[in-house]
Structure 1
Amino acid sequence: MKNFVWLFVLALAACGAPDQSETAGVQSQDAPAGLPGTDIYIATLSSGADGVSVSGLNRITEGGGYDNQPYFLASTDAFYFVSEGDSGKTDLWRYDILSASQTRVTNTPSFSEYSPKPAPGDYGVSYIQEIDESGETTQVYHMPGSGEPAAVAEFKPLGYYAWLADGQQLGVFLRTEPGELHLVDIESGETRKLASNIGRSLQPSPDGQRLYFTQADDSGAQSIMMFDLDSGDISAVAALNDGMDFFWPHFDDAGSLERIFSGADSVLYDYMPSGNTNWRPVHDFSEDGLSGLTRLAVNESGTWIALVFDE
């Protein structure tokens, strides 16, 4: 791991002490406009002969700003997410489902953090960090269990990322127009462009040897693609329906792709690569008074789903 010196950023990105009295998503009435207003909900996933079902929907953020980007911790009933504060910048939070408690992870009113997720080995939690006040330049950072946050690789500006090859490489969304997928070797810093015209959803396989992402063709139609780290090949997995953007792959105990979840407007869909060839509606959340399903995340065991809806 390279050690890059960004002293002013590290001071701002230092981990804030957990404060159980704080609640993510609560803003003053004069909070600046910027990011879209979104809220995070959780629900139970159940599998049966007829597929999966959703029950026990519960909102976990309070409204008033951007609460988004959930990502479950491995083998834990908890997930990271980001929440916008009064400054208009986002911080990292952790939500523990069983205790229904929220814990602040960072407190940086001048800079935003995005895309939190558990990082391999001793890297702790990783995230996208703004490294200038305009927010135009961003890098992947990690916060170990002890010590100061640090840049993972000197490659920027980034939008999204996924850990690959036991933390030795990153698949990253380079913020160009259109977006580009690059493979970054952390030790050497070498980069390689893999694809262009990609979407914002980058998801690794459990062994980190495959990367799933979306790519649009000349007509704008998007498909889920898979990059194989061993062979270097890219192949199509499934075409997305109109309105779909973010997706979440779920894997069986052997690490094989079992099911893919995605959403459009108020409907959650699933797709089984080895079964049906069409996206199947799982639940229509308009029945719960919700619409604008944008992001989602599923835990390792497939028992919890976190969903992001427009306010």
Structure 2
Amino acid sequence: MRSLVLISTTLGISSLRGQTESEVYLSSFISKDGVFEVSVPMNISRNPGYDNQPYFLSDEDLLYARTRNGQTDIARYSLAGQKTTWLSDTPGGSEYSPVKIPGKDAISSIRLDTTGLQRLYSYPLEGGQTDLVNADLKIGYHLWYNSEVLVCTVLIEDRMDLVVLNLKDKSQYTFQKSVGRSLHRIPDSDRISYTAIEEGKVLVKSLNPESGATTVLTELPSGVQDLCWVDAKHIICGQGHELKSFNTSGKGSWKSFYALEDPTSKITRLAYNGPSGVLAMVVETQD
């Protein structure tokens, strides 16, 4: 496991001030038998505006949505070189939620045009022509189950529905209405996890997109929308300025294991890369 190098530009969260905005931080993250150790976070975005939706492209590269010139493009951060480059540059449109496409040297990302059109596109990692993945649905969030099956949340009026698309035979099936934004592949399994909004609660459910088998795993803490899998059993999330964990194999409760210095800061989205031992977290701060 490679440790994240924290250089002299590392700042504690409490040192950030200004209007509410989101930044992307990295920490070394050690996980052993449900016990977690987190290093002091390093701000890698340092950019006014919306810096969010981290996704590990590889053990060495992190993608995230980053504000530039009044819109949002996909940035690529090298952990080894500690350098940021741009993966997308779309005049008249902003990109969000980057995800690697299985079997291709490309990512998929939500594009929101200035006209209001919202669609899913593919972007070659080395640049070049972008392609429309689906022309019909207004997709909010997505993940690839395999190279042919796409699991996504689709905006329908004032809600999102969980839809599984088969791009090969063009079929689609709605598994549940009124779902949340957190979609993940469960490690070492044939299932994905999603969040469902039921009776004012945000439930974490597992789903096999092929068989349709669904199981309720737990309920997220109050006010939480996002989660992250550390391994096949453990989920972590941010609630306020704290990180919390839950063991899905038992009947325990959510447990706090780390807190930022600034109690007014808020941890939202998370992404974890096991081989590199690095946790990405999005932190919102305000005066």
Q: Which range, TM-score by smaller chain?
A: 0.7 to 0.9
Quote the offset at 1:302 in angstroms: 6.7
2:284 corresponds to 1:310: yes
Spell out the pairing of 1:195-206 with structure 2 (5 A cutoff): 195-206=176-187
Deviations 1:166-189 (A, max 9, x none): 211111111122211101111222
Counterpart of 2:77?
95
Look up the SS of the partner of 2:150 in the other structure: strand
Unaligned runs of 5+ in 2: 1-19
2:148 corresponds to 1:174: no
Equivalent of 2:22, from 13, 38, 44?
Answer: 38
- Please give the alpha-carbon distance, in whole angstroms, between the structure 2 residues aligned to 1:289 and 1:101: 30
Equivalent of 1:234, from 214, 228, 238?
Answer: 214
Spell out the pairing of 1:45-64 with structure 2 (5 A cutoff): 45-48=29-32, 51-64=35-48
Q: Tell me the C-alpha RMSD between the 2 structures.
A: 2.1
Quote the offset at 1:77 in angstroms: 2.2
2:273 corresponds to 1:291: no
2:136 corresponds to 1:155: yes
Query: Structure 1 stretches (4+) deviating beyond 4 angstroms?
Result: none
Contact 2:24 2:280 survives alignment (8 Å): yes
Deviations 1:26-61 (A, max 9, x none): xxxxxxxxxx62101110111346700111311111
Q: Larger % of strand: which?
A: 2
The 1:145–1:156 alpha-carbon spacing in structure 2 relative to 1, beyond 3 Å, is same
Unaligned runs of 5+ in 1: 1-35, 252-256
Counterpart of 1:272?
247
Equivalent of 1:144, from 88, 102, 124?
Answer: 124
Look up the SS of the partner of 1:175 in the other structure: strand
Spell out the pairing of 1:5-44 with structure 2 (5 A cutoff): 37-44=21-28
Deviations 1:77-109 (A, max 9, x none): 22100111222x100010111221101111124
Q: TM-score, normalised by structure 1?
A: 0.79
- Please give the alpha-carbon distance, in whole angstroms, between the structure 2 residues aligned to 1:174 and 1:200: 10
**Amino acid corresponding to residue 224 of structure 2 in structure 1:** M
Look up the SS of the partner of 1:277 in the other structure: coil
2:262 corresponds to 1:281: no
Range with bigger deviation, 207-216 or 223-232: 207-216
**Amino acid corresponding to residue 266 of structure 2 in structure 1:** G
Return the structure number with greater relative CO, CA threshold 8 A, min gap 6.
2
The 1:113–1:224 alpha-carbon spacing in structure 2 relative to 1, beyond 3 Å, is same
Contact 1:223 1:239 survives alignment (8 Å): yes
Deviations 1:275-304 (A, max 9, x none): 46211112111x256612111110133711
- Please give the alpha-carbon distance, in whole angstroms, between the structure 1 residues aligned to 2:80 and 2:264: 24
Q: TM-score, normalised by structure 2?
A: 0.86
Contact 2:52 2:64 survives alignment (8 Å): yes
**Number of residues of Structure 1 aligned to a counterpart in Structure 2:** 265
